[in-house]
Structure 1
């Protein structure tokens, strides 16, 4: 028994020593940052902004690689299958690491177990906006109007299963009003149609509609997170009318599962430092996203677990299926 214990102790010591040696030399070559969406999206902009600072902090280039397709699943699956050596990581979302698992017929990865949480990058607030012709200036008037038939219950989103769509489904569940989802292929077309009056309302990321709210071309009724969005302090949350309503949307950094702790800590530390850089934080804030007060790996893991459960519940109860 003593011999077995000694062998196990030696193996554990060897693993610790090898991990420490790896961390001391890490990184000694360029890192690859996977964005599972096409260039130009908010994920791409955020990844490149933070990636540049991480590159400076770690002393190695951080190469952004866009691997879009299948609602973000292609790039996400790619990262899940990479070596856990800290040289490949990704900027994931509440779709890739929560909701999509319930929408894929045969998922090839588990978002909770096949990744190492590194940092919660930003919260991406969702807002319910209507065309100015809609006779509602607050959420109660809007819901009452839909119930009575005076206002169309059609609402647009960036696509079936998106957090914007799920926010609408949860509002429908809370209010029992006859809302009808109108899916678009991306947020851009949805914004275009609500500006033109083709659809009366949409749930959208603030970053996509903030200029139109500020110019009066769209009217903001409520945000979907539990707390008000600092950039629109006079716009209430849906939770202020319907208690417990909270549909978060977020972007976060993940590596493959089982990254050596010293390596994960080094990479995570660089990302967390970049997020607190005043210039980067100012650019992110001005774009419509919010750097969280606690972006730590634990805070990310806790948020992901809660959101995974929430999104699954909404999807099951609403019978959401990818069309």
Structure 2
């Protein structure tokens, strides 16, 4: 796939512009006619899975039907995303996607089994999530400056786990290597959960993990939080500094997660789903649950989400190029 930006096709634009109209009886009376599947393109237990299950539980209540979470990890989320891209546009198959599936993968992979713009109808942004630099407590460093000094004194000795090649977790580490001018070893896994498991076991040294999957271990003391990757400190961890303020000015990497339907999904159905997701994200208990886990609810419209995806794709294309990362 060419590493150039794709514009949203006319059908999607028409679908998005129609998203604020009064919903016809089609979406109201016939949907859902069977269980809705939210496909999570990463392993169970990671941030994408955590958010998918939270949304799925509430969506089932609002739709009055069953919502199934189906984990299909592989290729940095590409395996699961391609499955949804090829699914029927009837609202019964949705994707809990990420910054990776829709803003990064097209610049990483020589061949991609889906087009992140043409093959999907954006439903809503769901959450903004800073990554967090966590280390096993056995490591001798406790700050970013100490970690950089250790890495420079021990080139190639320090390794960092990730949820997979080309994921935002990987690229957060790659950006750190580039800006700090250190030589570290990347250890990719198929999702955050197995990567965190090995970090907890001391099999790897550190990780630039999505905050929700590491938050319980930070609270328990099983992992040490060195810094967050976002431009600002995260409200739930006010004592943890940003990487930028800890020695690498300008460093800023925030992950995000959203919901997509296949491109052929009718505009009224996309609008219905957007309304339901926004109502779920406005619930105080959902907002607090996300915050406790390290995520911030981020409801928006399909139009806003589509524009946001385009801007993020432009940003991360430069990061991927600078990191010189390309996957088969």
TM-score above 0.5, yes or no: yes
CA distance 1:118–1:133, shift in 2 (3 Å): same
Q: Distance in 2 between matches of 1:118 and 1:218?
A: 35
Structure 1 regions of 5+ residues with no counterpart? Answer: 1-11
CA distance 1:42–1:128, shift in 2 (3 Å): closer
- Partner residue, 1:27: 31
SS of the residue 1:98 aligns to: helix
Out of 24, 48, 52, the residue aligned to residue 43 of structure 1 is 48
CA distance 1:309–1:25, shift in 2 (3 Å): same
The RMSD of aligned alpha carbons is: 3.0
- Partner residue, 1:289: 295
- Partner residue, 1:262: 268
- Partner residue, 1:91: 96
What's the offset of the Cα at 1:86? 3.1
CA distance 1:54–1:248, shift in 2 (3 Å): same
- Partner residue, 1:306: 311
Pairwise mapping of residues 86-235 of structure 1 onto structure 2 (< 5 A)? Answer: 86-149=91-154, 152-235=157-240
What's the offset of the Cα at 1:108? 2.6
SS of the residue 2:244 aligns to: helix
- Partner residue, 1:5: none
SS of the residue 1:124 aligns to: strand
Structure with the greater alpha carbon radius of gyration: 1
What's the offset of the Cα at 1:306? 3.0
Q: Contact between 2:156 and 2:185, CA under 8 Å: does it hold in 1?
A: no
- What stretches of structure 1 move > 6 A for 4+ residues in a row? none
- Partner residue, 1:249: 255
1:236-269 alpha-carbon deviations (Å, 9 max, x no partner): 1123343332222222101122543332211100
- Partner residue, 2:76: 71
Structure 2 regions of 5+ residues with no counterpart? Answer: 1-13
What's the offset of the Cα at 1:82? 3.0
What's the offset of the Cα at 1:150? 8.9
Q: Distance in 2 between matches of 1:191 and 1:239?
A: 24
CA distance 1:199–1:268, shift in 2 (3 Å): same
Q: Distance in 2 between matches of 1:41 and 1:267?
A: 24
What's the offset of the Cα at 1:161? 1.4
Q: Contact between 1:166 and 1:311, CA under 8 Å: does it hold in 2?
A: no
Q: Distance in 1 between matches of 2:66 and 2:221?
A: 43
TM-score normalised by the chain length of structure 1: 0.81
Bigger shift: residues 180-189 or 146-155: 146-155
SS of the residue 1:255 aligns to: strand
Out of 52, 58, 62, the residue aligned to residue 53 of structure 1 is 58
CA distance 1:59–1:263, shift in 2 (3 Å): same
Q: Distance in 2 between matches of 1:64 and 1:185?
A: 17
Bigger shift: residues 283-292 or 229-238: 283-292
What is the number of residues matched between the two proteins?
A: 307
CA distance 1:186–1:67, shift in 2 (3 Å): closer
Out of 307, 322, 328, the residue aligned to residue 317 of structure 1 is 322
What's the offset of the Cα at 1:20? 4.1
SS of the residue 1:96 aligns to: helix
Q: Contact between 1:27 and 1:60, CA under 8 Å: does it hold in 2?
A: no
CA distance 1:176–1:65, shift in 2 (3 Å): closer
